Structure 1
Amino acid sequence: MSRTPQEQANLDFCTRMYNEMLFKFDASKIDEFLADGYIQHSTAASEGKEGLRDFFENRASRFKDISFSIKASFVDGDFTIFHIHTVRFPGDPGMSIIDYFRLEDGKVKEHWEVLQEIPETLPHSNGIF
């Protein structure tokens, strides 16, 4: 798959954002990764940077053993898309999460997500990822 240099930079930036901020619920990194006027479309976090700070605080206190892994990532212009496996506690089949971000001037300006609970058993043997 061919990417422009800017697309590769966007993908690298967002991958670093996951590893340094999102996967750690590290609110100290919010200004580094999110643009001023950040627009949140999530069903779990309220508006803007402050909404994400509150989300991090809530999740960090509720899910001490949470783990995440990036299963796939894509980039198209200013949009990056990630398929994430989130396991909230030991024994949890987890959630399949699709996050997509729109970048503007080198930072994340908007975020959308799609969430899917992973059932204990599937009607096929292909797995969810």
Structure 2
Amino acid sequence: MNTEDNKNNAIAFYKMAYEGNPKNAIKQYVGEEYIQHNPDVADGTQGFINYFERMQEEYPDKSIEFVRCISEGNLVALHTHQTWPGNDQYVTMDFFRFDKNGKICEHWDSIQQIPKNSANPNKMY
């Protein structure tokens, strides 16, 4: 298992889907199964495709910055900063599990909107 390949593949997968090509992302980076833990996205590859196609149609001008990527064993964690229309900003943490063939097979995430005011001067990303 190559953790550097897994890191690069997790970033490429998420970027490709986020920017509007989830079908190709699934084709290139996902294995036999895809277990989804985000309650807003249906389980399996088709649920993932449907969600990201809808997001691209409704919010084509959204953007993503990959701030950190950490890999251990068959797990990769991505820390991102997302900007959506109206300057709504979010911090996400996505976790991907890779199968023995180096393909993504499971996903968890946590999403938090960046508030307008903070009790400290530090960025959330």
Provide the rounded CA distance (Å) in 2 between the counterparts of 1:69 and 1:22. Answer: 14
Aligned to 1:31: 27
Aligned to 1:69: 65
Provide the rounded CA distance (Å) in 1 between the counterparts of 2:17 and 2:50. Answer: 13
1:58 aligns with 2:54: yes
Provide the rounded CA distance (Å) in 1 between the counterparts of 2:97 and 2:87. Answer: 33
- How far 1:90 sits from its partner (Å)? 4.0
- How far 1:6 sits from its partner (Å)? 0.9
1:98 aligns with 2:98: no
- How far 1:9 sits from its partner (Å)? 1.4
Bigger CA drift: 51-60 or 74-83?
Answer: 51-60
- In the alignment, structure 1 segments of 5+ residues that lack a partner are none
Q: Which runs of 4+ in 1 moved over 2 A?
A: none
Output aligned runs, 1:110-125, within 5 Å: 110-125=106-121
Amino acid at match of 2:36: Q
- How far 1:101 sits from its partner (Å)? 0.1
Provide the rounded CA distance (Å) in 1 between the counterparts of 2:39 and 2:83. Answer: 18
- How far 1:16 sits from its partner (Å)? 2.0
Q: In percent, how many aligned pairs have the same letter?
A: 24
Q: Deviations over 1:31-75 (max 9, x none)?
A: 211112211111221010000111012101111210000011100
Give TM-score scaled by structure 1 length.
0.88
Provide the rounded CA distance (Å) in 1 between the counterparts of 2:92 and 2:37. Answer: 14
- In the alignment, structure 2 segments of 5+ residues that lack a partner are none
Say whether the 8 Å CA contact 1:65–1:90 is kept in structure 2: no
**Aligned pair count?**
123
Provide the rounded CA distance (Å) in 2 between the counterparts of 1:91 and 1:7. Answer: 34
Say whether the 8 Å CA contact 1:103–1:109 is kept in structure 2: yes
Provide the rounded CA distance (Å) in 1 between the counterparts of 2:106 and 2:52. Answer: 17
- Considering only aligned residues, what root-mean-square deviation do their CA atoms show, in Å? 1.4
Bigger CA drift: 70-79 or 54-63?
Answer: 54-63
